[in-house]
Amino acid sequence: MAITKQHEYYEKRLEALLKDMPFFVEKYVDDKLDIRSPLTLFNYVRDYKEFFQWLMAEGIVKCESTKLFPVELLETLSLDDANNYFKYIARKKYKISKKDDETKQIDAKTVNRHKSSLRSLFKYLTVESEISEGKPYFERNVMAKIPIKKVSETFNERASKITEKIFIDDADIEFLDYIQNEYEASLSPTQMKYFKRDKERDFAILSLFLGTGIRVNELSNLRLKDIDFTSKEIRVIRKGGKKDTVSITPSSLQDLNNYLTVRNERYKASDSENEYIFVKFYKGESKHLTNRAIEDIVYKYTRSFDKRMSPHKLRHTYATNLAEQTGGDIPLIMNQLGHTQSDISLLYINTTREKQRKAAELLDQRRNRKTE
């Protein structure tokens, strides 16, 4: 299995987080590390920390720190207390933007993730572990009584949500044109300095998302050896460390090449084939551009053009356009996006229904003109 930069990054973050965790969580992670990704385990352990802190803050558990949290108290945790914790999670709100006070409530899927992570820990402690004479830490599993309410949505509803959050029609082309020709007019002299330095790099990132449909982690892990200019393809590392080959549009390949012509000089980067493609200049040397940095780049430019969008929304935009241009070729869409299930690819065909509706209205105008 290929080890990605993201894998290493979350391994380190997980290791740091575990320093504040009780011994039984450390044992859980050690036993699960070959089954679950460091990212998943990091999110799980972060949930456990919040859970322990809530129990301590509410006075349900008397303990000086999460590190000293006693495992035996989880056996006697009441169902009411467990339910109250998930009510607390469900009612939490978070700020949408740092610039204003607008907030949003945690969605049901996030609540379900908290439930799943704790159910996994409690199952481990009550069923999967052995500490003495073949017995687990304890036997009563209160989390087994906590239902996970499936978030039910129709296919059309899921597709509609995608359509509302992506570029439709030719908006993706207009977006790239805006970055090339209009964006700098809104910048201060200081902002202009950095924009001119990073313009080719940032534009290549945006163009690559819209010209390949790859994920942010797949883009950040691209190395120089992964580009094949002849076949117009790039090699990526999919989820689970699987290697794959993805087609790239000629225009996006040209945008990438434009960046590569200035990459070494502008960022003091090496042209060794194993070097990461997307880098930054930091403290006098070239550094790998992280997932977070790439996400911030996408947020910045999309917010300036229309609405704040994530790299995943650019991936959705590409997938929707691909579905339309290929007449809904499901195997092709699955291969290009790295999907393992066809129903995910079908969502992008559904997003074209808005265009179908508009087309029907245009066709009907012919009839209206005839009757006038």
Catalytic residues: 215, 239, 312, 315, 339, 348
Q: What are phi and psi of 243, to 5 degrees?
A: -85, 145
Q: Which two tokens stand for residue 307?
A: 């609405």
Q: Compute the distance between CA of residue 314 and CA of residue 166 in angstroms, rounded to an integer.
A: 7
Q: Compute the distance between CA of residue 11 and CA of residue 294 in angstroms, rounded to an integer.
A: 20
Task: Say if residues 294 and 205 touch (Cβ distance below 8 Å).
Answer: yes
Instruction: Tell me how many helices (H) and strands (E) the chain has.
Output: 16, 7
Q: Compute the distance between CA of residue 190 and CA of residue 240 in angstroms, rounded to an integer.
A: 41
Q: What are phi and psi of 285, to 5 degrees?
A: -150, 165
Q: Which two tokens stand for residue 193?
A: 């300095």
Candidates 214, 198, 274; CA nearest to 246 is: 214
